[in-house]
Amino acid sequence: MPEAAEPEQVAARHQLGLELRRLRERAGITGQALATQLGWSQSKVSRIEQARTLVTVSDVDALLDRLDASASDRRRLLALAERGSSGPWRNSTGVGLTRRQQDFIALEASASEIWHYNPVLLPGYMQSEPYARRVIEMAGAANEDRALEYRLARRSTMLGTNPPLYRIVLLETVLRWRPVPMDLMAQQLDQLADYASRDNVDLRIVAFDYEQSAFVQHPLMIFGFGTSAPRQALIETTTHDTYVTDAVMIETLSSNFERLSSSALSRDDSLTLVHETSRALVGGP
């Protein structure tokens, strides 16, 4: 199996696709029209914009010619193309959970802000190796080791030198659902508390003891890219993900997230609940 790209390379490819789509939409050109001008298939343009294929620097140069890019945009996007093409590439089609982890790495590494809601599982980038391996096993991944590699690689974005701001809302169910033995779950919750204490992480727990004002059935992530590109969202299920780019839908999802966040415990109280749950698992007071 070919070696997977580094997170920074995947992020560069993803950011390049976002920027190219932004330029195309600003120019008022459809993907089909652009493909026709270049003698390409419409699917090639779509795959480039979605970072689902390796794009060459010459292809990006041709795209920028048709999109009337400014000199500064051209320099920046060609540099992204060089960075993204400098490492190995693995076609993501049909590789199940491994592909999903690769997509998550790309979105997370290129975002400036991430909003994450989960009603059952800990976020992948906060999972310990035993927890992650067990969840991957239960999900039926074809290659558990490769899936685990990508799951743990997502952590590098959160722990990096210039990480995104993470706003994370979890139901208390997440702390109580236990896929590993009690001692390993206690260690997992201690790790969660350590990560949640970072300056770039704002963790809020929706506790059982309070009346709730919002309901979102599936895990949800919203990715902000500053002023460089529109926000995107991802709704995750066990077997597939739905990517959302429609501005009205993203506004609705953002409103739902804010309602969940406002009904959750404060940051300090959330961390206290995490610590108390961990101590209870190992028989502490």
> Could you read off the pLDDT of 14-39 as tens digits, one per residue?
888 888 998 999 999 999 999 999 99
The residue among 7 and 68 whose pLDDT is bigger is 68
- Residue 67 clears pLDDT 80, i.e. is over it: yes
Residue range 97-281 in CATH 3.30.60: no
- Residue 160 clears pLDDT 80, i.e. is over it: yes
Q: How far apart are the C-alpha atoms of 279 and 277, rounded to whole Å?
A: 5
Cβ–Cβ < 8 Å for 34, 24: yes
Average pLDDT over every residue of 233-243: 82
- Residue 274 clears pLDDT 90, i.e. is over it: yes
- Supply φ then ψ for residue 139, to 5 degrees: -75, -10
pLDDT tier, 143 (very low <50, low <70, confident <90, very high otherwise): confident
Residue 282, number of CB atoms within 10 A of its CB: 12
Q: How far apart are the C-alpha atoms of 165 and 77, rounded to whole Å?
A: 24
CATH topology of domain 7-84: 434 Repressor (Amino-terminal Domain) (1.10.260)
| Sequence-separated contacts (24+) of 20-27 with Cβ below 8 Å | 20/48, 20/49, 20/60, 20/63, 20/67, 20/77, 21/49, 21/229, 22/228, 22/229, 22/230, 23/64, 23/67, 23/69, 23/73, 24/49, 24/67, 27/67, 27/68
- Residue 40 CA to its chain's centroid (Å): 30
Percent of the chain with pLDDT over 90: 50
Burial class (CB in 10 A: 0-12, 13-18, 19+), 161: exposed
pTM of the model: 0.72
Cβ–Cβ < 8 Å for 141, 97: yes
Percent of the chain with pLDDT over 70: 88
Domain boundaries, the chain: 7-84, 97-281
Place of tokens 């979605």: 50
- Residue 89 clears pLDDT 50, i.e. is over it: no
Average pLDDT over every residue of 185-191: 97
Burial class (CB in 10 A: 0-12, 13-18, 19+), 138: exposed
Q: What is the pLDDT of residue 222?
A: 96
The 3 state secondary structure assigned to 161-213 is CCCCEEEEEEECHHHHCCCCCHHHHHHHHHHHHHHHCCCCEEEEEECCCCCCC
Average pLDDT over every residue of 160-173: 93
Q: What is the pLDDT of residue 273?
A: 98
pLDDT tier, 105 (very low <50, low <70, confident <90, very high otherwise): confident
Mean pLDDT over the full length of the chain = 86
Is 7-84's fold the same as 97-281's? no
- Residue 86 clears pLDDT 60, i.e. is over it: no
The helix (run of H) or strand (run of E) holding residue 222 is: strand 220-224
